[in-house]
């Protein structure tokens, strides 16, 4: 049986007319056959590895990069990150670099601005390349994970009170065009703190967002003095689409290093995942693959999971990765494949509502479809407060009922409601105006919890079945009681 290297030798000499150079890694192929969309097809290649990085030299001497998407006999399909304009089939040459795409990792990246493929675009020093890691990462062994259970205070009542974020969670923000998701994300980044008081390092991956949006984030980071704790990856709307495929992976590779090698608490903000998925669809279409729903590839779920699942905590490290991906629901449709598949992978979601936004509420969080799956492990006695869970459930149930009554009122009028139901209606209004709506001002967890109790006083007391155990202890705010007595 011949070994692989023995088989190579004769082939190489056969092909030598088509290639320049002798050693395999420096081999430059001139056998570009086809350019289609973001793809190029290279013929007569020898022993190219799947997923290997590719360097294309154009006739004008500039370089493009790509990766091998498919190997078929002696043909390779290569996806070009920086776009294919200017590539020709006659003079451009292709070199296979023999390894998967890698990203430099180091703590010196904090405070730097990089492009979507991880090359610095600020005026700082070039990266020294001492530690480079495969950007695809590897799945975390479930046995080695630690269940996320540390409460993060974001200062936002709708999150802290009702949909708790914990360290190591992936909690996306589902937004729609024109809604202030970026403002919300920036606010969370500014205010987030764990109860132990440790500060977060932030890895920000911009994918196809506009220059205006990007500079908003930079300004906000600057204002809060957080910029030296932030690594910025910038793939803007006018940057090559396909580059976006790399951006979240580079960002998460850095985040994994900071969290698991350097024991830091890392918050990863990815904006906008919808643009990422569009890029994925573009490549899939160019490859003429069988489409799944709405033209997105059948492997969209798997692909997204390789991004979202890179959040968490692991045994043997004090660090954590908490993800806050932002995604725009096309046409406000939560059943669209992108939010749908995301919701199936992430540990809950924060959903913004156009109706609340129009009424001038900030943050316009529609709490009913919101969810935090890890809430129960992050709250309760010893973590937040014993009544947290019961209180959240009671508020939810009451608001859902009040909201339902609104539809009824639209048909039969408010007078037709029983006096109890009218209380619920009032509760729903007050809940939105006072609990959800808080402006840019952050609230401590205590404030949020007391506000919840305060609102419950609007309801008929016998209906408070879910908080019955705590009514005596927490039913009336100590300060409120004092003022009442004073009167």
Partner 1 sequence: MERQTQASFHNVRGSIVSIVGPVVGVEHMAGVRMYDIVRVGNAGLMGEVIKLRDDLATIQVYEETAGLRAGEPVVATGRPLTVELGPGLLSSIFDGIQRPLEQLSAQETEAFIRRGEQISPLDRTKLWDFSPLHSVGDTVSAGAVLGTVEEFALLHKILVPPHVPTQKIAEIVPAGQYSLDDAIAKLEDGTELKLSHHWPVREPRPYAQKLDPSIPFVTGMRILDTLFPIALGGNAIIPGGFGTGKTVTQQSLAKWSDVDVIVYVGCGERGNEMTEVLTEFPALEDPRSSNPLMQRTVLVANTSNMPVAAREASIYVGVTIAEYYRDMGYSVAMMADSTSRWGEALREVSGRLEEMPGEEGYPAYLATRLAAFYERSGRVIPLSATVCEVEGEQKPSQTHLSDVSGACEGSVTMVGAVSPAGGDMSEPITQNSLRVAGGFWALDTDLAHKRHFPAINWTKSYTLFMDQVVGWYRDNVATDWPQKRTSAMGILQKEIELNEIVQLVGPDALPDSEKLTLEIARMLREDFLQQFAFDEVDAYCTIKKQYDLLSIILLYADESREALAKGATLSSILEGPIRGKIASLKTTELETFKHDVKQLTSDVRAHMSQLEVE
Contact positions with partner 1 (CB under 8 A) in 406-425 = 407-408, 411-413, 416-418, 421
Q: What is the DSSP string of 160-195?
A: IIIS-EETT-B--EEE-TTS-HHHHHHHHHHH-EET
459 phi and psi, to 5 degrees?
Answer: -95, 160
The answer to whether residues 92 and 56 touch, using CB atoms and an 8 Å cutoff, is yes
Site for partner 1 in 334-353 (CB under 8 A): 335-337, 340-341, 343-345, 347-349
Q: Rank residues 57 and 287 by Cβ distance to partner 1 and give the closer one.
A: 287
Q: What's the closest the beta carbon of residue 330 comes to partner 1, in angstroms?
A: 13
Q: Rank residues 127 and 341 by Cβ distance to partner 1 and give the closer one.
A: 341
The answer to whether residues 19 and 29 touch, using CB atoms and an 8 Å cutoff, is yes
DSSP code at position 359: T
Q: Which residue shows structure tokens 């937040």?
A: 384
CB atoms within 10 A of CB 475: 15
Q: Determine the size of the site formed for partner 1 (CB under 8 A).
A: 89
Secondary structure (3-state) at 252: helix
Site for partner 1 in 239-268 (CB under 8 A): 260
Q: What's the closest the beta carbon of residue 142 comes to partner 1, in angstroms?
A: 4
Q: Rank residues 168 and 442 by Cβ distance to partner 1 and give the closer one.
A: 168
Q: What's the closest the beta carbon of residue 409 comes to partner 1, in angstroms?
A: 9
Q: Rank residues 22 and 462 by Cβ distance to partner 1 and give the closer one.
A: 462
CA distance 183 to 189: 10
Q: Which of 164, 159, 160, 218 is nearest to 186 (CA)?
A: 218
Q: Which stretch binds partner 1 (CB under 8 A): 151-159, 177-185, 226-234, 394-402?
A: 394-402
Q: Which residues of 24-36 are buried (b: 16+ CB within 10 A; e: fewer)?
A: eeebbbbbbeebe
Pairing of strands 53-57, 32-36: unpaired
Q: What is the DSSP string of 438-458?
A: -TT----HHHHHHHHHHHHTT
Q: What's the closest the beta carbon of residue 47 comes to partner 1, in angstroms?
A: 5
Q: Which stretch binds partner 1 (CB under 8 A): 103-111, 124-132, 223-231, 294-302?
A: 294-302
Q: Rank residues 232 and 375 by Cβ distance to partner 1 and give the closer one.
A: 375
Q: Rank residues 107 and 136 by Cβ distance to partner 1 and give the closer one.
A: 136
Q: What's the closest the beta carbon of residue 51 comes to partner 1, in angstroms?
A: 4
Indicate whether 146 belongs to the interface with partner 1 (CB under 8 A): yes
Select the residue interacting with partner 1 from 262, 314, 458, 471 (CB under 8 A): 314
Burial class (CB in 10 A: 0-12, 13-18, 19+), 90: exposed
Q: Note the residue count of the chain.
A: 487
Indicate whether 49 belongs to the interface with partner 1 (CB under 8 A): yes
Q: What's the closest the beta carbon of residue 175 comes to partner 1, in angstroms?
A: 17
DSSP code at position 127: P
Indicate whether 63 belongs to the interface with partner 1 (CB under 8 A): no
Indicate whether 69 belongs to the interface with partner 1 (CB under 8 A): yes
CA distance 169 to 148: 7
Select the residue interacting with partner 1 from 393, 447, 454, 476 (CB under 8 A): 393
Select the residue interacting with partner 1 from 58, 100, 218, 471 (CB under 8 A): 100
Q: Which stretch binds partner 1 (CB under 8 A): 31-39, 195-203, 208-216, 332-340?
A: 332-340
Q: What's the closest the beta carbon of residue 182 comes to partner 1, in angstroms?
A: 24
Q: What's the closest the beta carbon of residue 235 comes to partner 1, in angstroms?
A: 22
Q: Rank residues 47 and 183 by Cβ distance to partner 1 and give the closer one.
A: 47
CA distance 163 to 400: 15
CA distance 406 to 425: 7
Q: Which residues of 160-188 are buried (b: 16+ CB within 10 A; e: fewer)?
A: bbbbbbbbbbbbbbbbbeebebbebbbbb
Q: What's the closest the beta carbon of residue 56 comes to partner 1, in angstroms?
A: 20
Q: Which stretch binds partner 1 (CB under 8 A): 15-23, 120-128, 306-314, 475-483?
A: 306-314
Indicate whether 125 belongs to the interface with partner 1 (CB under 8 A): no
């Amino acid at each position: 049986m011949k070994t692989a290297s023995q088989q190579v030798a004769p082939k190489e000499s056969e092909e030598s007319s088509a290639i320049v150079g002798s050693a395999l890694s420096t081999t430059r192929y001139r056998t570009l056959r086809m350019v289609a969309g973001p793809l190029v097809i290279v013929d007569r290649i020898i022993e190219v590895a799947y997923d290997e990085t590719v360097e294309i030299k154009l006739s004008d001497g500039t370089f493009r990069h790509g990766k091998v998407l498919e190997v078929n006999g002696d043909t390779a399909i290569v996806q070009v990150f920086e776009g294919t304009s200017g590539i020709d089939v006659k003079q451009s040459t292709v070199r296979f670099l023999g390894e998967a795409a890698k990203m430099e990792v180091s703590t010196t990246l904090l405070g730097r601005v990089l492009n979507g493929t991880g090359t610095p675009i600020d005026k700082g020093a070039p990266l020294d390349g001492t530690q480079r890691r495969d950007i695809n990462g590897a799945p975390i062994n479930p046995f080695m994970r630690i269940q996320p259970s540390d409460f993060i205070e974001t200062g936002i009542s709708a999150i802290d009170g009702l949909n708790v974020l914990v360290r190591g969670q992936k909690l996306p923000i589902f937004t729609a065009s024109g809604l202030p998701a970026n403002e919300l994300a920036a606010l969370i980044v500014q205010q987030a703190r764990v109860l132990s008081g440790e500060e977060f390092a932030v890895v920000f991956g911009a994918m196809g967002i506009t220059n205006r949006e990007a500079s908003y984030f930079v300004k906000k980071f600057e204002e809060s003095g957080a910029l030296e704790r932030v690594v910025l990856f910038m793939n803007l709307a006018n940057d090559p689409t396909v580059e976006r495929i790399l951006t979240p992976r580079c960002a998460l590779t850095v985040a994994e290093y900071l969290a698991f090698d350097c024991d830091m608490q890392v918050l990863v903000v990815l904006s906008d995942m919808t643009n990422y998925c569009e890029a994925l669809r573009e490549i899939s279409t160019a490859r003429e693959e069988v489409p799944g729903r709405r033209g997105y590839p059948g492997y969209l779920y798997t692909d997204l999971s390789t991004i979202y699942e890179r959040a968490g905590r692991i045994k043997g490290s004090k660090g954590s990765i908490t993800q806050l991906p932002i995604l725009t629901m096309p046409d406000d449709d939560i059943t669209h494949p992108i939010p749908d598949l995301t919701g199936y992978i992430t540990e809950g979601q924060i959903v913004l509502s156009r109706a609340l936004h129009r009424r001038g509420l900030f943050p316009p969080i529609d709490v009913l479809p919101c969810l935090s799956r890890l809430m129960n492990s992050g709250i309760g006695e010893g973590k937040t407060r014993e009544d947290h869970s019961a209180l959240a459930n009671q508020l939810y149930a009451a608001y859902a009922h009040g909201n339902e009554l609104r539809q009824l009122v639209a048909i039969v009028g408010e007078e037709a409601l029983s006096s109890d139901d009218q209380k619920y209606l009032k509760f729903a209004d007050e809940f939105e105006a006072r609990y959800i709506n808080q402006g840019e001002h952050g609230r401590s967890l205590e404030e949020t919890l007391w506000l919840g109790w305060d609102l419950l006083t609007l309801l008929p007391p016998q209906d408070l079945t879910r908080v019955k155990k705590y009514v005596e202890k927490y039913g009336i705010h100590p300060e409120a009681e004092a003022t009442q007595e004073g009167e």
